[in-house]
Amino acid sequence: MSHLTLVTGAGGFIGGQLVRDLSAQGVSVRAVDKKPIDDWYFRSPDAENLVADLQLAESCSAVTKGAVHVYNLAADMGGMGFIENNKALCMLSVLINTHMLMAAHAHSVERFLFSSSACVYASYKQTDADVVALKESDAYPADAEDGYGWEKLFSERLCRHFHEDYDIKTRVARYHNVYGPYGTWDGGREKAPAAIARKVAMAVITGKHEIEIWGDGEQTRSFMYIDDCLIGTQKLMHSDIEEPINIGSDEMVTINQLVDIVEEIAGVKLKRSYKLDAPKGVRGRNSDNTLIKAKLAWAPSTSLRAGMERTYRWIYDQAKAREEGRPYIAAAA
């Protein structure tokens, strides 16, 4: 029997698939989320599945007891439409990471991974669509995404100081736009790949060949497929990398190019309208993978075309089932 690994946020997109992956490897997993278990994306029958509110210190202590490794993925988050309109809610996630680190120290956890975000990066480095890829040092001087990004940056510092003061091996993953099947695809918390896949799918299903794009469509991003995220996360956990590190694709596209890709997959061309007053985040963002290649001899490699093909097919199937009144996976965070 392997040592106990705790995954928080296990009812969510990344957490649920991480639990499934670890369980398949024979790892003993305790999976925790605040949502009712019936609302989890995945429920691994091989894991110990618990419901707990990790904003509460006593809950963190109870679920951490006996754990050797902790993947702390629990947070209130979503796409740009959510985080721009829920800054206070996003910042309250600081309670989760604070109490989880305190619990990890109290229960002598050996390794603790915190899921951070590219939203920690300074906004003045992301004002041009033709952005220079963000390297880890670009988080300072600090000017993070208001609300969500500042919480992540503060929690990164907390991990650093718990490592320095209490000798917990903390690892910090700066995720860049993770997407894939079984993720949130409707309801307001979905990110751009899922939102665009849903809009294209609905255009195909309804025959209304139109699509609304937030912003002018020329803002740039990179998007990481879930399988790469799972590999990188576990590699980082077991590495000796003490500083925050990018886990993201370096294949940068405009949002218009992302729409092009999904249209090609779906075999349609849609009339585009642009909602210029919609939340759209920074002008440009991409991951510099120099450090992860040097430290791990690895970097995310799934092409956006390949990942979006799988993602679109899954979202189309869910949207089609919903339209026809059949069971579907809502995957709402």
Q: What is 181-222+251-287+302-323's CATH topology?
A: UDP-galactose 4-epimerase; domain 1 (3.90.25)
pTM of the complete model beyond 0.85: yes
Query: What is the predicted pLDDT for the residue at 332?
Result: 46
Look up the CATH superfamily of 4-178+225-247: NAD(P)-binding Rossmann-like Domain (3.40.50.720)
- In the chain, where are the structural domains located? 4-178+225-247, 181-222+251-287+302-323
**Residue 24: partners with Cβ closer than 8 Å, 6 or more residues away:** none
> 281-312, pLDDT tens digit by residue?
889 999 999 999 999 999 999 999 999 999 99
Do the domains 181-222+251-287+302-323 and 4-178+225-247 match in fold? no
Kindly list the distances between the CA atom of residue 251 and the CA atoms of 14, 91, 196, 238, in Å, as whole numbers in the listed order.
20, 29, 18, 26
Active-site residues, by number, are 148
> 113-164, pLDDT tens digit by residue?
999 999 999 999 999 999 999 999 999 999 999 999 999 999 999 999 999 9
> 188-199, pLDDT tens digit by residue?
878 899 999 999
Q: Are 302 and 156 in contact (CB under 8 A)?
A: no
Query: What is the predicted pLDDT for the residue at 90?
Result: 86
Query: What is the predicted pLDDT for the residue at 79?
Result: 64
Determine whether 311 is exposed, middle or buried from the number of CB atoms within 10 Å of its CB (0-12, 13-18, 19+).
buried
